[in-house]
Amino acid sequence: MYLAIPKENINGETRVAATPGTVKDLIKSGMEVYVESKAGQNSYFSDQEYKDAGANIVDSEDELLSQADVIIKVLAPSNEQVLKIKPNAAIISFCQTTRELDAVKAMRDRSLTGFSMHLVPRTTLAQKMDALSSQANIAGYKSVLMAASRLSVYMPLLMTAAGTIRPAKVLVLGAGVAGLQAIATAKRLGAQVEAFDVRPVVKEQVESLGAKFIQVEAGEDEGVGEGGYAKETSDEYKRLQQQLIHDHISKADVVITTALIPGRPAPLLIPTSMVDAMKSGSIIMDLASENGGNCELTKKDETITHNGVIIDGTSNIPGTMPVHASELYAKNVAALLTYMVKDGELNLDLEDEIISGSMYTHNGEITHKPTKETLTA
């Protein structure tokens, strides 16, 4: 089986879908691995390292894609790339299938089998394949460092000859993987941390990291959706939520927002009126910017200032740490791919929860129901 690892062709994407370490594992599974020249350059992996791991280096993207049986990428292929791929080949990448509809249609029309790392089921067996969590961990960690580098005050409490410096106040909205890592990182830097989430079940995790959990008094399952993800809440809950956040955000030096709902635009947590109530010099790190943002003023991949408040909409924070981001993502992809490979060939058991759950196109059809419904809506 010819496995291709092309170079990512979207400006600013520094990650790569396989590292020399995972190449060795993929070869052990019976695959012939071909890597486009300089595919790992932005992640600091050289062609020679891939060669030493047993991969073949290919100079031409056209040659690489046209020969491939399976292609692994970070981002979904462009329409131009799809046309270079032979029908019935398989592609594994990130793809927000209900939003990246042009990519989905191009894959369907080319009779390609598409697997999205966004769709990997949240099950115990699939934990090693959970790329969303591995990348969210990085985003949560690095977002705190990015905020701290811009902050005009210290993070920790300091006792000096000139007097006592109070610790910075950090508010984290959303206590999933990214939020919990942001809490842990901010606490390690000595900040005073509060966190909010619509799911009361995360309170214990938040408090175990030393942060204060703030919550709207509501039903236990008000914000808990399938697989433990957040879901849409009632209008009354949203009203109470807005008041609660307003009361705390006005005192914060740093606000990190991480709230996402699978398959939906990011929920609006911080309207302009709330930004107006914040202190001048405070910072909002909006980790949901790719899906529209949790702050009304967020602009994807831009940093703006509104009434002295800095709002950072960087969408690919994991890409600012390309070595570890690539290492983790490559392990997630390799775990999914080797799970589907038997005796060196792709073996697609459509009754398997992981395989069918991750798949969105196959045999010229869109197999992911929410994506199909979005296209026909």
Active site residues per annotation: 122, 127, 130, 133, 229
| d(C-alpha 72, C-alpha 17), whole Å | 6
Indicate the SS3 state at residue 215: coil
Burial class of residue 48, CB neighbours in 10 A (0-12, 13-18, 19+)? exposed
33 DSSP β-pair partners = 3
Q: For residue 107, give the nearest of 121, 119, 122, 92 by alpha carbon.
A: 92
Distances (CA, A) of 247 to 23, 88, 185, 244, 277: 51, 55, 24, 5, 9
* Rounded (to 5) percent helix, strand, coil in the chain: 40, 20, 40
| d(C-alpha 2, C-alpha 194), whole Å | 50
Per the CB < 8 A criterion, the answer to whether 277 and 304 are in contact is no
Contacts of residue 39, Cβ cutoff 8 Å, sequence gap at least 6: 5, 6, 7, 8, 16, 50
- CA 28, 34, 37 angle in degrees (round to 5)? 135
| d(C-alpha 227, C-alpha 249), whole Å | 29
Distances (CA, A) of 308 to 236, 277, 285, 305: 31, 11, 14, 6
| d(C-alpha 182, C-alpha 138), whole Å | 9
Please write down the HEC assignment for all residues of 28-44. HCCCEEEEECCCCHHHC
- Angle of the 101-109 helix axis to the 369-376 helix axis, nearest 10: 100
Question: According to DSSP H, which parts of the chain are helical?
Answer: 20-28, 47-52, 61-67, 79-82, 101-109, 131-150, 177-188, 203-208, 235-249, 272-276, 322-340, 353-358, 369-376
